[in-house]
Structure 1
Amino acid sequence: MNHRELGLVSVVMPAHNAESTLDAQLAALNCQTYQGPWEVVVVENGSSDGTRALLRSWQQGMPQLRVVEAAEGLGVNRARNLGCRSARGELVLCCDADDVVAPGWMAGLVDALRTSPAVGGALERRELNGPVALAARPPKESDALLDTFAFLPYPPGANCGFHKALWSRLDGFDESYRYGSDDVEFFWRAQLAGGRLAFAPSAVVHYRLRGELRPIARQLYRYGRSHPKLYRDFADRGMPPSHLGEAAAAWWRLLVRLPDLAGPAERRAAVLGQLAMRAGRVVGSARYRRCYL
């Protein structure tokens, strides 16, 4: 990598039933401070709402916007791969249709990609979320790449970038990861193949969380169910096992807090989210035949 001038930058964004949030994200992308050439590739992933019509209206005034159809074979990694194949730029940035990128987001990621093959930015959780969502997934200091599994760091799929050559060398995102750990798997493989990740603190995404109890539980259950799959795929490459003592302590804390399920919505969300994630790990351990609790 060097500091030469870069060519076209491609933003890849999956969109599935995103009519209520997509307008704000496209408006944010249209107000980026980055001065180089760029395009947005939205992968329309089988929506049944007004997402397609909204995209058509934006295309009339946003010539950088292209739409790729992915009506068959849902899943975020399938959508990302289709977007990357269609991307014309040598750099690919990824964001989601339900978030809002800050004005310096694109510039921050591109600058970091001048010296690293893959990068991630910061997630800000307070601006778009209410107390119930924040109780389920409390805000954290976003001053480094994520490191949930005490193995390798990784950027979130909602705020990351990479050289398209890296994506090609890795044969893209693993489409068997449809919901949960889809981003982790890709960036772990990148590092194990010798790629160095960097953190871009100025590349900020205002991150939208699920705000109602059922969607919160469904999402965190899916996350938890994917963790044993990660362990199955990376245990022989160094991913440490979960500790049964820590899992038992976590279940005990949840048992003690079960009365909160009859309390205010914020307390219910905090307990239900953790309960769903832990239940997902149990189901995933059985499904993938690797114990990761």
Structure 2
Amino acid sequence: MSRQRVALSVVIPNHNYAAFLPDILGDLSRQHGGLSEVEIIVADDASSDCSAQLAATLLKSMDAAVAEVVCLPRKGRPGLVRNAGLARARGDLLLCVDADDRLEPTFLSALRNALEGNPEADLAYCDYIHEEQDERCTVRFPEYDENLLRMQNILPPAALMRRSLWERLSGYRADTAYEDWELWVQCAEAGFRPVRVAEPLLIHRVHGQNYSNRAVLDDNAAKAAIVLAHPQFFPMATRTWARGVNNGVPWALAAPRGIIPDAELVDRLRKAARSTR
């Protein structure tokens, strides 16, 4: 039961991430400003490693307004698990954070202050640290640009949004491995107003179990699915490229990883294909 109002809900999708849960829940417990108005929902995707039980034990010691584990039938995609967790969330501010990521102590307060200090904004995001094995590098995002979003994913998966924005969206889709990128395209079509916190407050850990590895392996198909789901957002040349991917056209499949081609790049890909014939 909640001791007082829930202002901010944090949804953590989990599937067999028992090794990571102590870190992310520990990071949340150390957030500046405390958790007295924060709800924490661990949405468990039918884990078989006892991580749901571990999460329940760890949540008992956290001084959050609400802390619960929601056990789900197997969904197999983190976006669908996030949808289920968000359907239970009570807060006016909503955040999904992956169980294998880490948060700096000022993460929640900085993003919340960015939104509350800017009534026009409905989503706040920050830079992040990319951590792989023993190496770290800081990823600095550009200020939001709709044209850049058409070509690259320029927002991190952990972004704080107002409920009013979430309610204008259709949720995370299951037909693309780039679930986060597709959601930001939904946000753009809904006319969202993001604000960037220019600090690396999120730590994204890369390891063999990352779901995002699937997107890398299925890069072109995942990007094409985003384009074809939002034909009004992308130019005609890009839609032609996406249909080419689905049809196995070689020049379309030569697009760089992580890039959705604009008209200029589509033209270059076609010319390169003709020159090799």
- The amino acid across from 1:210 in the alignment is H
| Residue pair 1:117, 1:166 contacting (<8 A) in 2 also | yes
Superposition RMSD in Å: 3.6
SS of 1:124's partner is strand
- The amino acid across from 1:163 in the alignment is R
How far has the Cα of 1:15 moved from its partner?
Answer: 0.8
2:108 pairs with 1:106: yes
How far has the Cα of 1:219 moved from its partner?
Answer: 4.6
**Structure 1 residue aligned with 2:97, among 95, 101, 114?**
95
How far has the Cα of 1:84 moved from its partner?
Answer: 1.0
More off after superposition, 20-29 vs 7-16: 7-16
The match for 2:167 is: 168
Unpaired runs of at least 5, structure 2: 245-249, 261-269
How far has the Cα of 1:82 moved from its partner?
Answer: 1.1
Alignment of 1:72-83 (within 5 A): 72-83=74-85
| Residue pair 1:145, 1:153 contacting (<8 A) in 2 also | no
By percentage of residues, which structure has more helix?
1
For 2:212 and 2:169, how far apart are their aligned partners in 1?
Answer: 32
TM-score (norm 2): 0.73
For 1:10 and 1:40, how far apart are their aligned partners in 2?
Answer: 6
2:73 pairs with 1:71: yes
Count of matched residue positions in the alignment of Structure 1 and Structure 2? 241
| Residue pair 1:33, 1:104 contacting (<8 A) in 2 also | yes
SS of 1:186's partner is helix
| Residue pair 2:128, 2:199 contacting (<8 A) in 1 also | no
SS of 2:191's partner is coil
For 2:212 and 2:78, how far apart are their aligned partners in 1?
Answer: 18
| Residue pair 1:120, 1:154 contacting (<8 A) in 2 also | no
Unpaired runs of at least 5, structure 1: 1-5, 253-273, 282-290
| Residue pair 1:90, 1:164 contacting (<8 A) in 2 also | yes
| Residue pair 1:167, 1:173 contacting (<8 A) in 2 also | no
How far has the Cα of 1:186 moved from its partner?
Answer: 1.5
How far has the Cα of 1:123 moved from its partner?
Answer: 1.5
By percentage of residues, which structure has more strand?
2
The match for 2:264 is: none
2:202 pairs with 1:205: yes
**Structure 2 residue aligned with 1:130, among 123, 129, 134?**
134
Q: Deviations over 1:133-186 (max 9, x none)?
A: x7xxx76434545986545865222x2111112212223222434xx2211122
The match for 2:48 is: 48
Cα separation, partners in 2 of 1:223 and 1:32, compared to 1, 3 Å: farther
The match for 1:225 is: 221
Cα separation, partners in 2 of 1:111 and 1:224, compared to 1, 3 Å: farther
| Residue pair 1:13, 1:96 contacting (<8 A) in 2 also | yes
How far has the Cα of 1:32 moved from its partner?
Answer: 0.3
For 1:226 and 1:251, how far apart are their aligned partners in 2?
Answer: 14
